[in-house]
């Protein structure tokens, strides 16, 4: 028997927005009032609170859906920053917000991932442009403004337009020394900083399936620099395993506030896996895409984004030899354990070059702890690196590694805009973690193989 489908196939974005809007299906271009599962804010929470107070409400609408981290200027570099944090803590207490993460816990996107606060098929909207990050686990993540977060606190609801979708396929496994960061830089370099403007990007292909989870996280995160609304990596057994383990820990410690997860008894990891699979959303095979770009992994190499724009991308060899004053390994893009491991592999038994600083800031306290357990942090300190408090560090120019005018930084972050790190007249190059570490050792931009073999 053949069945004739009455509804045309849908993309991930259509399905996720329909679900969050309580609708059966939605069309591209439609404006939908959605009720996101999680609403994220960070050091900007005090400013959002001041906007929200204009609504005259005593209580926020759905406190259990609010997640707040102190990460962007943490610990506070000035008394004004400290007062900002104090205002946020007062709000958290007064509204009874349980998903609150203190100074030192880490960067919002990393922490909410580790805490399994966002699940496949769910929607997170955040007052942070890299909220696209959560696509790594098959969720719909998009950045919004402060007023919009205030509106979500007040009503639980916000309008979204259903975006056109675009597919990016990675065929084959990345060769050694070429990372997800290089793939992301290549895409942005090829298609421009507005190449994905307003679109939903869906990643697929054998190269994505073969990637570890920490590498997958880089892709939707970096797609913020491609102009996208959200980006999506299809979840698989690896994804469910990561989340189930963390959910089980949370239930064990008695956190029963997960939306859609109110349970009668303690969940077994097996039933958690089944629940996660049931939540996951996948695009229909014949869904409509405005573009499809196919990359062959074997043809990629290490890339570097040159000042002052993320789409100013060249092969690493083109800028090799450029003097480096500061190397920075960290951020929500590349501050995880595999990034630190890649740096350690390059730097173990070597020294940071005289005249160069090497700053390493783990993305979270869990990353720091794992790095300590494996001896990575020891190796970095022995090599002359400086370890910072988990958080955003100097990524957006608040503190802990602001360059002097005229200095050159090589960074594992996602943005190299003029003034991004706090100094307008300073150059920022973006690269993968091994290149950052090798450049710290050489005091100039260099291919890691040269340092390791040379």
Partner 1 sequence: MPTLTGRAWKYGHNVNTDVLFPGKYTYTARGREEIARHALEDLDPRFVQEVQPGDVIVAGRNFGCGSSREQAATCLVYNGVSAVIAESFGRIFYRNAINNGLLAIPCPPAAQAIQPGETVTVDLEHHLIRCAAGEFPFPPLSDTLRGIVEAGGLVAYIRGKVRSNE
Cis peptide before 223 (omega within 30 of 0): no
332 lies in the binding site for ligand SF4 (CB under 6 A): yes
Rounded to whole angstroms, the Cα distance separating 121 from 276 reads 9
Structure tokens at 398: 């608040």
Q: Which of 6, 80, 264, 453 binds partner 1 (CB under 8 A)?
A: 80
Q: What is the DSSP letter of 290?
A: S
Of 425 and 450, CB closest to partner 1: 425
Task: For residue 269, report the phi and psi dihedrals to the nearest 5 degrees.
Answer: -55, -35
x-marked contacts with ligand SF4 along 253-282 as a string, rule CB under 6 A: ------------------------------
Alpha helices in 300-375 (DSSP H): 331-334, 337-347, 365-373
Residues in 200-239 at the binding interface with ligand SF4, rule: CB under 6 A: none
Q: Which residues contact 14 (CB under 8 A, 6 or more apart)?
A: 25, 26, 27, 28, 162, 165, 287
Task: Name the residue with tokens 């804010």.
Answer: 41
- Residue 211 CB: number of other CB atoms within 10 A? 25
By beta-carbon proximity to ligand SF4, the closer residue of 112 and 211 is 112
Name residues whose C-beta falls within 8 Å of residue 42's C-beta, 6 or more positions apart in sequence.
68, 69, 70, 71, 72, 108, 127, 128
213-222 and 237-252 helices, crossing angle to 10°: 100
Select from ligand SF4, partner 1, none the partner in contact with residue 107, using the beta carbon and a kind-dependent cut-off of 5 to 8 Å: ligand SF4
By CB under 8 A, name the one of 112, 124, 127, 170 that touches partner 1: 127
For ligand SF4, the closer of residues 35 and 72 by Cβ is 72
Angstrom distance (rounded) from CA 346 to CA 436: 10
Helix axes 337-347, 365-373, angle to 10 degrees: 40
- Closest to partner 1 by CB, 258 vs 402, is 402
Site for partner 1 in 225-244 (CB under 8 A): 225, 227, 229
**Which residue is listed with tokens 């958290």?**
92
- Judged by CB under 8 A, which of 49, 72, 133, 186 binds partner 1? 72
The yes or no reply on residue 353 touching ligand SF4 (CB under 6 A) is no
Residue 374 C-beta: closest distance to partner 1, Å: 32
Q: Extract long-range pairs of 309-312: CB within 8 Å, 24+ residues apart.
A: 309/193, 309/416, 309/417, 310/185, 310/188, 310/193, 310/225, 310/414, 310/415, 310/416, 310/417, 310/430, 311/188, 311/189, 311/191, 311/192, 311/193, 311/195, 311/225, 312/189, 312/416
Size of the site for partner 1 (CB under 8 A): 53
84 binds partner 1 (CB under 8 A): yes
298 binds, among ligand SF4, partner 1, none (CB under 5 to 8 A by kind): none
Dihedral pair phi/psi, residue 292, rounded to 5°: -135, 130
| Candidate segments 44-52, 210-218, 281-289, 441-449, binder of partner 1 by CB under 8 A | 44-52
**Site membership for partner 1, residue 193 (CB under 8 A):** yes
> Residue 162 interacts with ligand SF4 (CB under 6 A)?
no
Q: Would you say 222 or 434 has its CB closer to ligand SF4?
A: 222
d(CA 24, CA 18): 6
| Binding flags for ligand SF4, 355-394, as an x/- string (CB under 6 A) | -------------------------------------x--
Query: Which positions from 73 to 112 touch ligand SF4 by CB under 6 A, shown as an x/- string?
Result: ----------------------------------xx----
70 touches ligand SF4 by CB under 6 A = no
Told to check if 396 binds ligand SF4 by CB under 6 A, we report yes
Half-sphere CA count of 56, side-chain side, radius 13 A: 0
Among ligand SF4, partner 1, none, the one that 331 touches (CB under a kind-dependent 5 to 8 A) is: ligand SF4
DSSP state at residue 403: P
Q: Quick check: 13 and 140 in contact, CB under 8 A?
A: yes
Q: Rounded to an integer, what distance in angstroms lies between the CA atom of residue 45 and that of residue 353?
A: 40
| One of 89, 277, 418, 444 touching partner 1 (CB under 8 A) | 418
Cβ–Cβ under 8 Å, residues 329 and 412: yes
- Least Å distance, CB 358 to ligand SF4, is 18
Select the residue interacting with partner 1 from 26, 47, 208, 385 (CB under 8 A): 47
> Should residue 424 be labelled a site residue for partner 1 when binding is judged by CB under 8 A?
yes
> Judged by CB, which is closer to ligand SF4: 151, or 395?
395
Residue 369 interacting entry, from ligand SF4, partner 1, none, C-beta within 5 to 8 Å by type: none
Strand partners, 341: none
Residues that bind ligand SF4 (CB under 6 A): 72, 107-108, 128, 130, 331-332, 392, 395-396, 413-414
Residues at the interface with partner 1 (CB under 8 A): 31, 43-44, 46-47, 51, 54-57, 72-73, 78, 80-81, 84, 126-129, 131, 143-148, 150-151, 154-155, 159, 161, 193-194, 197-198, 225, 227, 229, 309, 311, 396-398, 402, 415, 417-420, 422, 424
């Amino acid at each position: 028997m053949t069945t004739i489908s009455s509804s045309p196939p849908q993309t991930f974005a259509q399905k996720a927005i329909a679900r969050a809007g309580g609708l059966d299906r939605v069309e591209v271009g439609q404006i939908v009032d959605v009720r996101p599962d999680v609403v994220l804010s960070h050091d900007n929470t005090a400013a959002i609170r001041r906007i929200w107070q204009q609504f005259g409400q005593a209580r926020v609408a759905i406190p259990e859906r609010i997640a707040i981290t102190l990460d962007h200027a943490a610990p506070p570099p000035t008394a004004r920053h400290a007062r900002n944090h104090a205002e946020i803590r007062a709000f958290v207490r007064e509204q009874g917000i349980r998903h609150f993460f203190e100074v030192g816990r880490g960067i919002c996107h990393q922490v909410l991932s580790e805490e399994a606060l966002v699940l496949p098929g769910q929607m997170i909207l955040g007052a942070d442009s890299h909220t696209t990050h959560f696509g790594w686990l098959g969720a719909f993540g998009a950045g919004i403004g402060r007023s919009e977060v205030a509106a979500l606190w007040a009503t639980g609801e916000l309008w979204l337009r259903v975006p056109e979708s675009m597919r990016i396929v990675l065929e084959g496994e990345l060769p050694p020394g070429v990372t997800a960061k290089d793939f992301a830089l290549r895409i942005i370099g090829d298609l421009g900083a507005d190449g994905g403007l307003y679109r939903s990007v869906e990643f697929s292909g054998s190269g994505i399936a073969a990637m570890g989870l920490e590498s997958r996280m880089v892709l939707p995160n970096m797609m913020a620099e491609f102009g996208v609304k959200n980006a999506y990596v299809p979840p698989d057994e690896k994804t469910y395993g990561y989340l189930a383990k963390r959910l089980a820990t949370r239930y064990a410690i008695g956190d029963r506030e997960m939306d859609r997860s109110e349970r009668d008894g303690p969940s077994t990891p097996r039933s958690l896996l089944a629940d996660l699979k049931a939540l996951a959303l996948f695009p229909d095979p014949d869904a409509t895409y405005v573009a499809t770009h196919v990359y062959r992994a074997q043809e990629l190499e290490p890339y570097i984004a040159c000042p002052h724009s993320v789409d100013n991308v060249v092969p690493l060899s083109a800028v090799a030899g450029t003097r480096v004053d500061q190397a920075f390994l960290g951020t929500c893009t590349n501050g995880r354990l595999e990034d630190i491991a890649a740096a350690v592999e390059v730097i173990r038994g070597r020294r940071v070059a005289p005249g160069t600083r090497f700053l390493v800031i783990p993305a979270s306290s869990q990353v720091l702890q794992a790095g300590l357990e494996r001896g990575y942090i020891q190796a970095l300190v022995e090599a002359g690196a400086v370890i910072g408090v988990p958080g955003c560090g100097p990524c957006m120019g608040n503190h802990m590694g602001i360059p002097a005018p005229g200095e050159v930084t090589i960074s594992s972050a996602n943005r190299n805009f003029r003034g991004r790190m706090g100094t307008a007249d300073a150059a920022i190059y973006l690269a993968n973690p091994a290149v950052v570490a090798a450049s710290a050792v050489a005091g100039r931009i260099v291919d890691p193989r040269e340092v390791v073999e040379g």
